[in-house]
Amino acid sequence: MPLPSPTTRWIRRLRPLAWGGAAALWLAPWVAMRFTSEVAWTGSDFALFGAMLLTGCVAFEIAARAARAPAYLAASVIALGAAFLLVWANLAVGIVGEPSQPANLAFMTIPLVGIVGAALARRKPRGMAVTLMAMAGLQIVAGGLALQAGTQEPRGFLLGFTAAYVAVWLLCATLFRKAADAAPR
């Protein structure tokens, strides 16, 4: 039996962290509700958050199956985490004002582009690199729309938020590109 690759060893380490972390995150509001009245989740809040966590964990499993290089796995984990946080923040409080603010829809399209791009690229690293570059471009567009929305959000926050996410998407694109370069031809 061959020795497991470094990527396989990392997947074995990350898998229980992903699923266990998701379970802990899902239970955290329930525990908080026992100690404070400031956290008041309903059954639908738990269902939506559980669906988001399950989607994230399934996406991790799909990415782990496609990972042949540590750079691919790192890019996948970072991109999935960033997309999860983007959706969560947008649904919870909204990036721009309230979650119902129309400018927030632009931010919700970014993870959708990631999903469609991953499907079109069949999760191949070169295609994933292009997808993440497209997500970075769309992040700039969403940030510009948010700035034009004229909400109460500080301009510096929107610029910093946009810059941070663009940097994350470009980092992931670079890692996917590195994974593509390392793949046997």
pLDDT score recorded for residue 120:
97
The C-alpha atoms of residue 62 and residue 72 are separated, in whole angstroms, by 12
153: pLDDT confidence band, cut at 50, 70 and 90?
A: confident
The C-alpha atoms of residue 113 and residue 131 are separated, in whole angstroms, by 7
The predicted-structure confidence for 44-101, as pLDDT tens digits, reads as follows 999 999 999 999 999 999 998 888 889 999 999 999 999 999 999 998 888 888 888 8
Angle at 131 between CA 126 and CA 132, to 5 degrees: 100
75 in Cβ contact with 170 (< 8 Å): no
64 in Cβ contact with 15 (< 8 Å): yes
Task: Tell me the C-alpha to C-alpha distance, in Å, between residue 136 and each of 2, 42, 130, 161, 178.
Answer: 39, 34, 10, 12, 18
- Mean pLDDT value across residues 25-53: 93
- Mean pLDDT value across residues 120-128: 95
Q: Which residues contact 57 (CB under 8 A, 6 or more apart)?
A: 18, 19, 22
The C-alpha atoms of residue 106 and residue 144 are separated, in whole angstroms, by 10
The predicted-structure confidence for 11-20, as pLDDT tens digits, reads as follows 888 889 999 9
pLDDT score recorded for residue 78:
96
The C-alpha atoms of residue 34 and residue 17 are separated, in whole angstroms, by 25
Q: What's this model's pTM, rounded to 2 decimal places?
A: 0.88
- Mean pLDDT, rounded, of the chain: 91
Q: Residue 27: what residue type?
A: L
pLDDT score recorded for residue 11:
82
